[in-house]
A and B are shown apart, each in its own frame.
Chain A
Amino acid sequence: MSAIRTEKLRKEYKDVVAVDSLDLQIEEGELFSLLGVNGAGKTTTIKMLTTLTTPTSGDAFVLGYSINNDKKKIKEQIDVSMQQTAVARNLTVRENIEFYCEMRGKSKEETEAALKHTYEVFGLDKVEKKRAKQLSGGWQRKLSIALALVGGPKVLFLDEPTLGLDVIARRELWRAIEQLKGKMTIVLTTHYMEEAEALSDRIGIMKDGRLLFVGGKDSLFEKTGTGSVEEAFIKIVEEN
């Protein structure tokens, strides 16, 4: 079964078409990167798939559940880390994780397991007693992404997870994301082409709400006659 399948998914804001008849399929366990310039429709697509925004028309199925009709079922099995850091400012790192576990209905044992897991993957144990607002941007982003994991989602949406981070913090996050590969389906949007190249199983390229390309890196290079995701991306976007 596909983890995600969209059928003519469309979103309009007044006279702007943010996403136009999107047909896309993402397999279970895959890390799928959605690329596009600003305003391409990546974030709107994520918002629809995570049930935050209702589509104007069309439908999408996440783990077999409709985003129009089964929002609650979907919310129980997914999580998201948006572009902006989303943490409770005056809570410590540990309290943030415990709070989010409670929001996800986790037991005490499950919460302890989640703490252990996120500490291992993101190294958050080093700052567990610090309040979120005292953390650097990199640590805040790590915490924000870690929170998206504590519910044990089957599908994880990462909307520009490394935006604004320095190169070291970005590489650390890549390593953390790599550790998650295969354990869940991950949908990643990013402006950093090297990030997509390093992490993705498959890539989708959007422009003006339309999907211009879907496939693996090899087929992307073959189609464009280029040797890197960045060159291929520029060629596809400029030609369409």
Chain B
Amino acid sequence: MGKVLQKEAFGLAAKDNSGVLSPFSFTRRETGEKDVRFKVLFCGICHSDLHMVKNEWGMSTYPLVPGHEIVGVVTEVGAKVTKFKTGEKVGVGCLVSSCGSCDSCTEGMENYCPKSIQTYGFPYYDNTITYGGYSDHMVCEEGFVIRIPDNLPLDAAAPLLCAGITVYSPMKYHGLDKPGMHIGVVGLGGLGHVGVKFAKAMGTKVTVISTSEKKRDEAINRLGADAFLVSRDPKQIKDAMGTMDGIIDTVSATHSLLPLLGLLKHKGKLVMVGAPEKPLELPVMPLIFERKMVMGSMIGGIKETQEMIDMAGKHNITADIELISADYVNTAMERLEKADVRYRFVIDVANTLKPNPNL
């Protein structure tokens, strides 16, 4: 076969760790026989995007085109693609490839494959760096493309591909999805708010735990939580001691685990999905004398991502979003850093992203 052809693409990239994104032209690979190419309609902005554009995790390579909550419409499929055809609504989340043969991959947990390739900022097999969804189109291996149910609005569905699967995966994996269970959701942000929706759809009783009383009305009346606790109120915590089967902790700031462990039943599970930068204090007694567990979970595999989005379609679960134009992205990043968003920014890519004016 001859030289690999490239398709011109354009998007928004960070050029350095200042965090500023600007118009950027690049190329994507030609559609391989197992590839799906799609026009990007919308892309969510995730906290990870913020960390990556600023190189806060020390692994960023520039230019960096972020975005891993990507939805759009198929424009081309490779000769061996069987699951998708032109015109269908699809999405891509945090991963675009993995080894396909390790235990994690064969179990459908590609997220834990040591050779998984992330949607942006990662070396791909052809020696390019992956570019994310703040761009006009994507090309992705069929196995990492998710079909979006027809009834879901694409802009509000986009964040489910990262935020949604991140809370859904541990609920399913750890058996915290049974009707009648009592689930706590700590933090009411991009992750927490969809966590409440999925937990309710699974038939569990849901209690939101937050540092701020101001979020009570939002949690119960808008999001459908059954109860609300202020984590700094000892009486509220005491009244709920030992009542929860599991807690999904979405908080990425340093916080005390002791009250949360107290809320759990014997053998209860505290699942960390937020990643505070500083070490957390871990009380020993609740783990030893009550066999409680502290564990982590990271995004989810492709199979369960499809299950999650299908469940969202069935129950009309979407993220609460603020739709923005592409040229608003830097302002949005600043607001995200200040937690000034309810709950997820989504870029209206197709309608507002313009080619690089410098060409």
Partners in one complex: no
- Measured CB to CB, the residues of A under 8 A from B are none
